[in-house]
Chains A and B, each alone.
Chain A
Amino acid sequence: MASENGTLIHLRDVHKVYYRDRIEVPVLQGINLDVHEGEFLALMGPSGSGKSTLLNLIAGIDAPTKGEVRVAGESLGTLKPSRLAAWRARHIGFIFQLYNLIPVLTAYQNVELPLLLTRLSSRERKKRVLFALGLVGLEGRAKHFPRQLSGGEEQRVAIARAIVADPTLLVADEPTGDLDAKNAAEILTLLKRLNEELKKTVLMVTHDPHAAERAHLIYHLDKGVLQS
């Protein structure tokens, strides 16, 4: 998956410019970043500094204005949209701040979503969904709809959804941003376990210094530049 030397994420001179009413808004200005397999990396920085933008570039849901983004052995800029989608399905597990579960689907069905894109049989899918739900401690909530769950539970379902297809990289955009301290701590412990026990590489954006402490490495993003 990763390149020879174990580098999973490789960013070189990445720029991102947005246009707001024709005015250029430079967000990322020449980012260089290398992340190795198995790392747990936290990305901090003030609001609006471009953390989410950077994360989106790495997760392949946004494209840089300039520069190279190489993740899990693919240079994302060269992939066609359909290949990119398949690449995301295979390599990325995304955890959002606002969980983003599909409200009309049960916890089970939400977790099953990424598996629909695979060739797995429904029995095989079931096994994996239950395993993922077990991992986040929610096997009893499979039949519940998102609105019947608490915020912390919703986020745990979202994490189960992110890991069920066994992706190479977990990206989390302020996963604890909307949770109280107790729930936040639980989610962080969970991410830490995934990193340690399942050897998942985790890239997490956060505001919270306590959260960042759990990571191996902390990067700061400010005024479009990355500092460690």
Chain B
Amino acid sequence: MKYLRLIVANLLRSKRRTFLTVFSIAIALFLFCTLRTVITSFEASLRASQATRLVVRHAASLVFPLPLAYRERLAQVPGVTGISYGNWFGGYYQDPKNQFAQFAMDVPTLLDLFPEVVLPTAQAEAFRSERTACIIGGALARKYGWKLGDQVPIIGTIFPGEWRFVVRGIYTGQTKDVDENTLFFHWDYLNESLPEGRRNFVGIYWLRIASPDLAASVSGRVDAIFENSPQPTKTETEKAFQAGFISMIGNVQLLLTIIGSAIVFAIMLVTINTMMMAARERTREIAVLKTLGFSDGLILRLVGGEALFLSLLGGALGCGLAALVFRESDFTAGGFFPNFRVLPETVLLGLLLAAIMGFLSGVAPAVQAARLEIASALRKVA
């Protein structure tokens, strides 16, 4: 600890250089956290998924619905303790750019099967009892300034026309991973509004099972029942369903990782250079310290510690800034990342990365300093 003052004094030697270095590291870590959060926000749905919920859909394609008649048969499968269903609505508000999820849901069972959707009792009651009612997530309400009682017009792309829903509830997520950018309305309302031939079809059934251990057996049983029907099913845990959806996004994770690595690497090169310049300018002072009896190991730690200190400072700044900015701003990139929030794991990873950067950028100058020949270094005119 008594050496910390030496490190700090050295960092204050060229305040401009220290500032520039700390900020370039902060920038690298800010970007790292941002890119990492793009990935983790894709995965938020995974973390929000419940182990006791199964998703049943058409085996081949999301575009094919299942008959409403499956509902009774699904409810009778042993191990199933609850069932809900709904259709992806696929509409937009005013402009196709304003995208967010809308689901037509079986309202009586919705809140029972999705306990993570938290709604005050009075609002839940109002939602249940009005055919054209809808509930929306808190983030969505903030984004468009919608309040209870507002009429929200949604243009359907799958179900054409303008649909008007009355906001009767604003839900919050039980955890931060729950998407608060969804609109739920009555499946019955949608169904009744459709032409005869398109009625009574369901996009997705959700099953609640008594215990996560039953997932495999219940899935198998459900799919076996409908295997040879015209509409075979594919049943999987909610997590597996979401994972499949995420993997369709393709190589995003890889691409972002490549970009993130390039950033961190670039800033590391720049930092190494700065550290080496800083150490080179102090060659003589290091020789003096050695003359005073500072051992090579201590010099190594002092010079290396300086790099580490700088990097961690920059890392803490960058990660902290990212966490703050994205929490305060409700950022969704136009509805693309409904849950853009820097996770604590990301911050930790960022700090670890900063430490590694600091270590690597400190190694070369520290070794150089430790190896310094005192007598010849002192001879050099500063």
Residues of A within 8 A of B (CB): 52-53, 56, 59, 61-62, 81-82, 85-90, 92, 94, 96, 98, 100, 102-105, 109, 113-114, 116-117, 122, 161
Chain B, 272-315, CB within 8 A of any chain A CB: 284-285, 288-298
Whether B293 lies near A117 (C-beta < 8 A) is yes
Whether A85 lies near B293 (C-beta < 8 A) is yes
**A–B Cβ pairs within 8 angstroms, 16 of them:** A56-B374, A56-B378, A61-B291, A62-B374, A62-B375, A85-B293, A85-B295, A86-B295, A92-B293, A98-B382, A103-B13, A104-B12, A109-B9, A116-B2, A117-B298, A161-B292
Whether B13 lies near A94 (C-beta < 8 A) is no
Question: Is B10 positioned at the interface, with any CB of A under 8 Å from its CB?
Answer: yes
Q: CB within 8 A of A81: which of B2, B295, B379? A: B295
Whether B294 lies near A117 (C-beta < 8 A) is yes
CB distance from B373 to the nearest CB of A (A): 8
Question: Is B97 positioned at the interface, with any CB of A under 8 Å from its CB?
Answer: no
Residues of B within 8 A of A89 (CB): 292-294
CA distance A116 to B6 in the complex (A): 10
Which single residue of chain B is at the shortest CB-CB distance from A90?
Answer: B293
Q: Is the contact region of chain B dominated by helix, strand, or loop, or is it mixed? A: helix
Q: Is the contact region of chain A dominated by helix, strand, or loop, or is it mixed? A: helix
Further pairs besides A85-B294, A102-B288, A117-B298: 5, Cβ < 8 Å: A81-B296, A86-B295, A92-B291, A94-B292, A117-B294
| Total chain B interface residues with beta-carbon distance under 8 A | 27
Question: Is B3 positioned at the interface, with any CB of A under 8 Å from its CB?
Answer: yes
CB distance from B235 to the nearest CB of A (A): 68
Which single residue of chain B is at the shortest CB-CB distance from A59?
Answer: B291
Question: Is B5 positioned at the interface, with any CB of A under 8 Å from its CB?
Answer: yes
CB distance from B18 to the nearest CB of A (A): 12
Residues of A within 8 A of B298 (CB): 85, 117
Chain B, 305-331, CB within 8 A of any chain A CB: none
Whether A61 lies near B293 (C-beta < 8 A) is no
Whether A113 lies near B292 (C-beta < 8 A) is yes
Residues of B within 8 A of A62 (CB): 373-375
CA distance A61 to B376 in the complex (A): 10
CA distance A61 to B374 in the complex (A): 6
Whether B9 lies near A105 (C-beta < 8 A) is yes
CA distance A105 to B11 in the complex (A): 12
CA distance A98 to B285 in the complex (A): 12
Whether A86 lies near B288 (C-beta < 8 A) is no
CA distance A123 to B153 in the complex (A): 75
CA distance A52 to B10 in the complex (A): 29
Residues of A within 8 A of B285 (CB): 100, 102-103
CB distance from B371 to the nearest CB of A (A): 10
Residues of A within 8 A of B293 (CB): 85-90, 92, 114, 117
Residues of B within 8 A of A86 (CB): 293, 295
CB distance from A171 to the nearest CB of B (A): 10
Whether B297 lies near A82 (C-beta < 8 A) is yes
CB distance from B375 to the nearest CB of A (A): 4
CA distance A155 to B106 in the complex (A): 88
